């Protein structure tokens, strides 16, 4: 909630009651994306002010504003892996992989030809898929060079998913399937690992 072009606010709600908890984060424009980490404590937020926000614990006061994008941050997602990674995607056509411990970008992906609208990690915690306004789905992966103590990234595949842009993306709980929704008024289910169309 908030005012367009002025503020975006994130509040926690208790499902067992209608009482809302205080605002826990604020951005300078609308909130576009939000995701809890599996632990239910850490939170990622993406907003129209071209920034993301990482909250390591909703019970604490620490808030890290991530100012690396040049467009609205439409997608955020935590990796399920043990390395403490998360990813942000923006209308600037960039996907950025971050390290939780340093709050720094470790890998950039720039293959998309239009803005990013959704992101989801595969169950292995080092590969991800993103949806894009160019009508495609993209797969990427990251790896750690233990000798150099650096991270790298690699492009896996791109598939034409919808005529018109892909507006939304979600993964199944077991990360075996993803569903995409497009401007062609269809929703499609895909195999998360192979990219094959299921339905």
Q: What is the pLDDT of residues 175-189, one digit of tens each?
A: 999 999 999 999 999
- Say if CB 74 and CB 116 are below 8 A apart: yes
**Token digits of residue 119:** 């992101």
pLDDT band at 16 (very low <50, low <70, confident <90, very high): confident
* Number of C-beta neighbours around residue 33 at 10 A: 21
3-12, 81-90, 128-137, 142-151: range with lowest mean pLDDT: 3-12
What local confidence, expressed as pLDDT, does residue 31 receive? 80
Among 52, 11, 44, 12, smallest CA distance to 28 is for 52
What local confidence, expressed as pLDDT, does residue 82 receive? 84
Task: Characterize 58-94 residue by residue with b for buried, 16 or more Cβ atoms within 10 angstroms of its Cβ, and e for exposed.
Answer: eeeeeeeebebbeebbbbbbbbeeeeebbbbbbbbbb
**Token digits of residue 141:** 């992966």
pLDDT band at 21 (very low <50, low <70, confident <90, very high): low
- Say if CB 127 and CB 139 are below 8 A apart: yes
pLDDT band at 18 (very low <50, low <70, confident <90, very high): low
* Number of C-beta neighbours around residue 101 at 10 A: 10
What local confidence, expressed as pLDDT, does residue 83 receive? 87
pLDDT at residue 41 is higher than 60: yes
What local confidence, expressed as pLDDT, does residue 23 receive? 62
pLDDT at residue 76 is higher than 80: yes
pLDDT at residue 4 is higher than 90: no
Residue 95 CA to residue 116 CA, distance in Å, equals 8
pLDDT at residue 14 is higher than 80: no
For the entire predicted model, the pTM comes to 0.90
What local confidence, expressed as pLDDT, does residue 130 receive? 97
User: Which residues make Cβ contacts (< 8 Å) with residue 159, sequence separation at least 6?
Assistant: 136, 137, 190, 195
Q: Which CB contacts under 8 angstroms, 24+ apart, belong to 92-101?
A: 92/50, 94/69, 94/70, 95/119, 95/128, 95/130, 95/138, 95/140, 96/68, 96/69, 97/142, 97/151, 97/153, 98/54, 98/66, 99/151, 100/42, 100/54, 100/56
pLDDT at residue 6 is higher than 80: no
pLDDT at residue 22 is higher than 70: no
What local confidence, expressed as pLDDT, does residue 5 receive? 56
| Secondary structure class of 72 (helix, strand, coil) | coil
pLDDT at residue 25 is higher than 90: no
What local confidence, expressed as pLDDT, does residue 189 receive? 96
pLDDT at residue 149 is higher than 90: no
What local confidence, expressed as pLDDT, does residue 11 receive? 67
Residue 105 CA to residue 103 CA, distance in Å, equals 7
């Amino acid at each position: 909630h908030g005012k367009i072009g002025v503020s975006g606010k994130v509040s926690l709600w208790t499902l067992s009651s209608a009482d809302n908890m205080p605002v826990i984060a604020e951005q300078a424009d609308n909130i576009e994306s939000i995701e809890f980490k599996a632990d239910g404590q850490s939170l990622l937020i993406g907003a129209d002010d071209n920034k993301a926000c990482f909250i390591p614990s909703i019970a604490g006061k620490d808030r890290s504003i991530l100012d690396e994008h040049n467009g609205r941050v439409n997608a955020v997602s935590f990796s399920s892996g043990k390395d403490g990674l998360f990813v942000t995607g923006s209308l600037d056509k960039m996907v950025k992989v971050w390290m939780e411990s340093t709050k720094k970008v470790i890998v950039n992906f720039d293959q998309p030809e239009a803005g990013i609208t959704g992101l989801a990690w595969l169950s292995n915690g080092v590969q991800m898929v993103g949806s894009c306004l160019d009508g495609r789905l993209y797969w990427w992966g990251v790896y750690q060079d233990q000798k150099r103590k650096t991270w790298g990234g690699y492009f896996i595949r791109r598939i034409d998913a919808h005529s018109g842009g892909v507006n939304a993306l979600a993964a199944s709980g077991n990360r075996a399937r993803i569903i995409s929704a497009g401007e062609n008024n269809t929703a499609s289910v895909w195999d998360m690992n192979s990219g094959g169309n299921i339905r």
